[in-house]
A and B are shown apart, each in its own frame.
Chain A
Amino acid sequence: GSCRVSMSITEIRSGFNTIKANIQARDPIRTLSILSYPHSLHKVKSSDRCCVSHQLFTFYMDKVFRHCRTEDSYINRKISSIANSFLSVRRSLQQCQEQNKCVCGQESTEKLKQVLVNYEELNVTAAAMKSLGELDILLDWMEKES
């Protein structure tokens, strides 16, 4: 069966929208995208969508939010909101995986490997801040597919 995740993208997106300009302004590198390089998420086959989503949510939990603490308490609070929302969504994706509804094919493994390669091109803080600034790329892709 397919994996149905009740997820309020609207809430995550509205939280992100309030900090998007600030976060993206902290990323001066135009020539590299963590999520879209070399291939856009939109090229991911639908059969791999669930697994790629689960892997990317895990990537954000493990490697992004914790390195994005800023000097601005308002920004930190919004990042906390997004991170906690990601946590509850990833839990649902985890359940899908445990019920074998979230099969990982070759392509999803490749995609995550490429994301990590892009991530490791930069120092941790720069890579984490760039990844956070690309949250709308992830949300656009998830909304389009849902």
Chain B
Amino acid sequence: EDALLPAPQNISILSTNMKHFLTWSPVIVQGETVRYSVEFQGEYEREYANESWIPISECSLMAATECNITDDISATVAYNLRVRANAGTRRSEWGTLTGFFNRITTSLTPPLMKVIADGYHLLVELEDMGPAFQFCVLYWKKGQESRMQQKMVKEVNSVVHLDTMEAGLDYCVKAQAYVEAINRSSSFSQTQCVRAQGGTSLWL
């Protein structure tokens, strides 16, 4: 029987803002194209379905060394992941991710945000980070940090109205992303301040 291919190494997960990618080092075989196949196994499969593995068709016999597993990691449980190399008729053993992956560990970045003063109205424009995301927006009169107000923004519709402002006063805003499915929030964005009409609008 042909010598086995070496199993893929350095298998790891890159997970940011609920987008999850499995990556590994390429297996080098002189003169041959190596292709890879990826499978996953959730906690359900381990406990109820004889530890079965499920292939990801988009990452079956593909040349890339990265697989977007976001659509399949859609529960907050521990997942196993594995990848195998194929070259011609030969293939490797499975290389398995060390330890489990649970999406609760995804890294959450603060949202890109732009604060706008339009007359006496305080508005914010937020980055669309995907359907899993809501935003907690805090705003306050500059110098009155103790009297912060909060608004939850569930859908990003370009410019969101926060509140009306008193003439000539400065208002500051910061926002964090929140993911209900894992009940976690990002850190806050940089604070941005603007001035209401009735005074010069400055970025402070």
Contacts and interface: CB of A to CB of B under 8 A. Distances in A.
Contact of A87 (B44, B55, B56, B57): B44
A80 B54 contact: yes
Nearest to B50: A66
Contacts, number: 63
Interface residues of A, number: 20
Interface in A61-91: 61-62, 65-66, 73-74, 76-77, 80-81, 83-88
B158 interface: no
B105 interface: no
Given A8-B181, A87-B75, A66 B57 contact: no
B76 interface: yes
Interface string B125-148: 000000010000000000000000
Contact of B56 (A6, A77, A88): A77
A77 B44 contact: no
A66 B52 CA distance: 11
A73 B54 CA distance: 8
Given A11-B181, A15-B74, A88-B75, A80 B56 contact: no
Contacts of B40: 80
A76 B74 CA distance: 13
Contacts of A74: 57
- Which of B48, B56, B79, B180 has the most chain A CB atoms closer than 10 A to its own CB? B48
A85 B49 contact: no
Given A6-B180, A11-B181, A88-B75, A83 B42 contact: yes
A87 B74 CA distance: 12
Given A11-B181, A15-B74, A84 B56 contact: no
**Nearest 5 CB-CB pairs, A to B?**
A84-B75, A84-B42, A85-B75, A83-B44, A81-B74
Interface of B: 40, 42-45, 47-49, 54-57, 71-72, 74-77, 79, 132, 180-181, 183
